[in-house]
Structure 1
Amino acid sequence: MFFWFTVVFCVIGLVAGQSFTANPANATVIEGDVLRLTCDAAFSGSQPFVTATNGVTASSVSVDDDLVVFETNVLSRQNNGSVLRCESPADSSQVGDLITLIVQYEPLITVTGANITVNEGDQFSLNVTIDANPSVTLGGISVAPNLPATTVFGVVNASTVSITIPNVARNDANNYTITANNSVGTDTATFQLTVLPNDATTSSSIPSNTETTTSSTVTVTAQTTGSVSPTVSTTATMISVVTVSSTPTPAPTGETQSNATNVLASFMAIIFLNFVVFLFI
């Protein structure tokens, strides 16, 4: 969709010479539109033409005697600040009023370092460049999910804002989306914050219970993670060895005496029976 913006240049013949009048002095358009302007070269005796800077071109689309209508190319943010002038070839010494072209465009966000890793407890800082016209204010910037309440937003320059978290917590780690708005439109960009916890964890390459033989060597490989270099220690558990002997275990003293008494009684009974048998014979 093209936006037609008409600017009238008047070239008026006076006794003292020609003068050029532009109305208005500034022309504002939205990126993607074109600018249509009219140069009136009445009394100049020749058709006017338009000069422009900063990559803008203007071509005539209609001519009515000394009234010429010009149309620019499709305008972009790179054309912002261009200067246009309606000239008359009848008297090149005359300088006409200038028109400064203002191109308004939606934000374009650039995040420096989209993947950021910090240690827990350290400060996190990020600069975000936002190219926009009109410029985006701090009120036009939002981040989702919400950053911690201690986050500070600052203005570095006209197009750069800073985001600072003074003391990063491990639960601040997340993927964030920045949104910038102005009167023309909206843009979004993402960044990832990774937080290394201060406490270290250790993982081993072998099971916690390992069987081995005497004089053998056991190699353990441990890997640690965390922002603070940990001290790794190993603990050996002593396993007692029970030796089983084939020698019978002596009976308690009381049990030994009881067995001896039984043997003596049996012996006396045998003698008594032999004596009885002898008497009857």
Structure 2
Amino acid sequence: MSENGWPADRIDTGSAHSARIYDYLLGGKDHYRADQEAGEALRREWPSLPVSMRANRDWMHRVVRHLAREEGIGQFLDIGTGIPTSPNLHEIAQAETPAARVVYVDNDPIVLTLSQGLLASTPEGRTAYVEADLRDPAAILGSPELLETLDLGRPVAVTVLAILHFIEGEEEARGLLRRLLEPLPPGSFLALSTATGDFAPEEVGRAAAVYHSRGIPMVLRSADQVARFFDGLELVGPGVTQAHRWRPDPAQGPAVADREVAMYCGVARKPA
């Protein structure tokens, strides 16, 4: 066992992991020295990175509320969940729809170990956790945990948040999304966010280089490239935009400057 009580034989504690870097930069405690060092290197290159990460997290809250409240979605498939940080997606969804069902997916064994925080469902709803990789949609969609939790004959919202920038090829990334949405019925949704260098190209470019130097490929995409992820779907207004500009909630605090947010996002419906 590792010093944190996690199965040491399954965790590479000497290499940084994107989920644990995210945890460190947001003030969490579930990371190792390699993640902390990577986080500090990233912050030196782009001090606004934690601001951008929080903007992405706040956007997740807003989009899940929108999908549950305005679109009537009661089933969610969250891929690339990351280390639990309350409120988690199911808490947001079930606050709107107590019977909502959520399946979380991640490939980091630490997330699996901490998944109890993701499984505290309301009595009316249900949550489940699948240990799988975005690169294997068949394993995700065919997992017993998913099939026991979600009804794939009814609309599902697939959320792919802050994870696609770790998929390098454009065709590969689009293909993965197509395969995830293919078996889902019309009225299902895709919500995604991914990194961009459009608003602070030098600083964000240096941060991406830090990820690369630690064995974590990172692709910065333009608005046009992100828009292509929604080909064949019906974008919900305001379309592809920065995370903090997607239906902002004035109650969330002072406005964030564009140059501090390196995340594009969008939400779209699968048509009939």
Does TM, scored on the shorter chain, surpass 0.5? no
Larger radius of gyration: 1
Q: Name the structure, 1 or 2, with higher relative contact order (CA <8 Å, separation 6+).
A: 2
> In proportion to residue count, which structure has more helix?
2
TM-score by length of 2: 0.23
TM-score by length of 1: 0.23
